[in-house]
Amino acid sequence: MRFERCRMLFGEEDFAKLQAASVIILGVGGVGSYALDCLYRSGVGQITILDYDHYDITNQNRQIGSEAVGVRKTEHLQDLYPGIRVIHQQMDLAWLETFDFAPYDLIIDAADTSRVKIELAKREYKKLLMSLGSAKRYDSSKIEVGSIWKSHGDALARKIRNELKKAKFDRNFTVVFSSEQAKCKEKGSFVGVTGAFGLTLCSETIKRILASK
């Protein structure tokens, strides 16, 4: 059976929670594609992905599905992971203002746009699991999970914290971040870290679902 090993681990009652859960992943690149793979293989019943990009050859060092150069990410991933729901949509502030997150139990934010990440946190912090900077690093042992307010060693985290403080936002949400200092100035990346971010986000999602009543 497809999920036999998952059922052994989680037990029937908790596995039923995974089957009933609904998760949306915002961005399915180097982080989000691994979160998708992990959730799909673990039996999460309703997975929606949102992305607007097409695969580029430069994605092939870190993104699942990136052999399909020139193809929409959402389109190709729907072929690779039958049954998922896809939204081919740019994640911008205009979209965020109108999108309804009510049907989803949890939100994985694996997108890159800091302004949208900040506004998303203000709106949906209770459901949110956010990825911070995973590029420019190669030591997966430096990955941590914690409150946005306790994140450290990450420029994106610092920017988000500062902007939230300016907005007098003091609520809490969970982030995955790395304390490793950036090893280059450009957009260098390593799948051992970006993929580990995605798998960590999946693990945190599974834990959150199993802890729900």
Q: What one-character-per-residue DSSP string does 128-169 give?
A: EEEE---TT---GGGEEEEEGGG--S-HHHHHHHHHHHHTT-
Are 159 and 132 contacting, i.e. CB atoms less than 8 angstroms apart? Answer: no
Nearest partner of 23 among 52, 51, 45, judged by Cα: 45
Per-residue pLDDT tens digits for 92-150: 999 999 999 999 999 999 998 889 999 999 999 999 999 999 999 999 999 999 999 99
- Whether 77 and 84 have beta carbons less than 8 Å apart is answered as yes
Q: What is the pLDDT of residues 16-44, one digit of tens each?
A: 999 999 999 999 999 999 999 999 999 99
pLDDT tens sequence across 196-211: 999 999 999 999 999 9
Residue 185: per-residue pLDDT: 87
Q: Which of 39, 58, 59 is nearest to 48 (CA)?
A: 39
**What integer pLDDT is reported at residue 187 of this predicted model?**
85
What lies within 8 Å, CB to CB, of 197 at 6+ separation is 30, 31, 34, 110, 131, 134, 143, 176, 178
The kind and range of the H/E element at 73 are: helix 73-80
Whole-model pTM above 0.75?
Answer: yes
Would you say 125 and 116 are in contact if contact means Cβ atoms under 8 Å apart? no
Residue 87 banded pLDDT, cuts 50, 70, 90: very high
Neighbours of 85 (CB within 10 A): 13
Please state which CATH class domain 4-211 belongs to. Answer: alpha beta
Q: Domain ranges in the chain?
A: 4-211
Average pLDDT, the chain: 96
